[in-house]
Amino acid sequence: MNRFTQAIVRVPSANLAEGISSAGLGRPDLALAFAQHAAYCDALRACGLEVITLPAEERHPDATFVEDTAVIAGRVAVIARPGAASRLGEERSILECLRGMRSTIAQIRAPGTLDGGDVCQAEDHFFVGVSARTNPEGAGQFCEAVRAAGYTASTVDIRTNPLLLHLKSGVAYLGEGRLLAAPGLPRTPELTRFEWLEVPAEETYAANAVRINDRLLVARGFAGTARMLEARGYATLALDVSEFRKLDGGLSCLSLRF
Ligand code: CIR
pLDDT at 100: 85
- Catalytic, 253? Answer yes
pLDDT tens sequence across 120-133:
999 999 999 999 99
Give me the domain span that covers residue 131: 6-257
Instruction: Please report whether residue 218 resides in a domain.
Output: yes
Average pLDDT over residues 64-86: 96
Percent helix, strand and coil across the chain, each rounded to 5? 30, 25, 40
Which residue, by CA, sits nearest to atom 1 of ligand 1?
A: 20
Residue tagged active-site, from 41, 47, 120, 253:
253
Ligand 1 geometric centre to CA of 143 (Å): 21
pLDDT band at 255 (very low <50, low <70, confident <90, very high): very high
Is 113 part of any domain?
yes
Q: Which H/E stretch holds residue 225? A: helix 223-231
Neighbours of 34 (CB within 10 A): 15
Kindly provide the residue ranges of all beta strands, DSSP E only, lying in the chain, ordered along the sequence: 6-10, 50-54, 70-73, 76-79, 104-107, 119-122, 125-130, 152-157, 171-175, 178-181, 195-198, 210-212, 215-219, 235-239, 256-257
How many Cβ atoms from other residues are within 10 Å of residue 176's Cβ? 13
169 alpha carbon – ligand 1 mean position (Å) = 9
104 touches 77 (CB < 8 A) = yes
User: Which of 40, 60, 62 to mutate to test ligand 1, by most ligand atoms within 8 A of the CB atom?
Assistant: 62
Specify if 137 maps to a domain. Answer: yes
Residue 104 has pLDDT above 90, yes or no: no
Distances (CA, A) of 93 to 50, 66, 69, 147: 19, 10, 9, 25
Q: Is residue 1 part of a domain?
A: no
pLDDT, tens digit (0-9, with 9 covering 90-100), for 91-100: 999 999 999 8
Q: What CATH code is carried by the domain that includes residue 248?
A: 3.75.10.10
Query: Does ligand 1 have an atom closer than 6 angstroms to the CB of 243?
Result: no
Is 49 a residue whose pLDDT tops 90?
yes
pLDDT of residue 227: 97
Average pLDDT over residues 29-49: 98
With a 6 Å cutoff on the Cβ, whether 61 touches ligand 1 is no
pLDDT for residue 74 is more than 90: no
Say yes or no to pLDDT of 228 above 90. yes
pLDDT of 117 over the 80 cut:
yes
Predicted confidence (pLDDT) at residue 42 exceeds the cutoff of 90: yes
Ligand 1, closest atom to CA 82? Answer: 3
State which ligand 1 atom lies nearest to the alpha carbon of 165. 11
Confirm or reject: Cβ of 94 under 6 Å from ligand 1: no
- pLDDT, residue 14, reads 96
Contact 250 CB / ligand 1 (< 6 Å): yes
CA 82 to mean position of chain CA atoms: 13
Name the β-bridge partners of 73: 76
For ligand 1, the distance from its centroid to the CA atom of residue 249, given in whole angstroms, is: 5
Structure confidence at residue 43 as a pLDDT band (50, 70, 90): very high
d(CA 170, CA 160): 13
- Is any ligand 1 atom within 6 A of the Cβ of residue 166? yes
Confidence (pTM): 0.97
Which pLDDT belongs to residue 70? Answer: 98
User: Between residues 2 and 37, which one has the greater pLDDT?
Assistant: 37
- Res. 244: pLDDT tops 80: yes
Q: What does the pLDDT read at residue 245? A: 98
What pLDDT, in 10s, does the model give residues 152-175? 999 999 999 999 999 999 999 999
Q: What is the tally of structural domains in the chain? A: 1
Q: Is 23 in the pocket of ligand 1 (CB under 6 A)?
A: no
Confidence band of 103 (pLDDT split at 50, 70, 90): confident
Distance (Å) from CA 65 to ligand 1 centroid: 6
Please indicate whether residue 62, judged by its CB atom, sits closer than 6 Å to ligand 1.
yes
- Answer whether residue 1 shows pLDDT above 80: no
